[in-house]
Structure 1
Amino acid sequence: MEFCDECGSMMKTEGDHWVCGSCGHEQGRDSEKEEEMVTTEGQEHSEVVDISGAEEKGLPRTTAHCPKCDNDRAYYYMQQIRAADESETRFFICTECEHKWREDDN
């Protein structure tokens, strides 16, 4: 990823140049430098969370309505699953049926 030297915006590749979508500034591409860049292409987004034994793991409990069994208590934990500048996602695990759901701040 390249950022524009003129305005600081993120640049896009167009052929053998980087082009700023905001101000139109162009600069040549450097293949050696680009090989060192980390991309998200081919990365799979998967999440494996073991919810068995939530009580033994010391997860805190709160009042939350389970959409599956209508229980009003759940364990919860917070996890960053989106960009770092966005809020964490709160996950709930029902204390009765172990149904898992999440709550995002919108």
Structure 2
Amino acid sequence: MEFCDECGSMMKADDGLWECGSCGYTEPKGDADQYVITDDQEVGEIIESSGETSLPETDAICPECGNDRAHWYMQQIRSADESETRFFICTECEHKWREDDN
């Protein structure tokens, strides 16, 4: 499902294009490698991360290195009637682990 960049309405598929029924805006349909690259973009351009994250931090013991701080987030990975899974990422070694409700 796609949403219009211009007005936010739901777009519908029409012959290789996504078309907005409200304002008429269209864009190519398909994988990202099928999109047209403009002159100001470089093919294969790599954007490097600064290493900083916007994830919240909490007290959690890393099972890998024993550090006591970790970033965390929650994600629904099972059926909707089950609780979310908490994921932790160590602030020192970047080991990732999860905590499930049993």
What is the TM-score when the length of structure 2 is the normalising length? 0.50
What is the TM-score when the length of structure 1 is the normalising length? 0.48
Q: Which has the larger radius of gyration?
A: 1
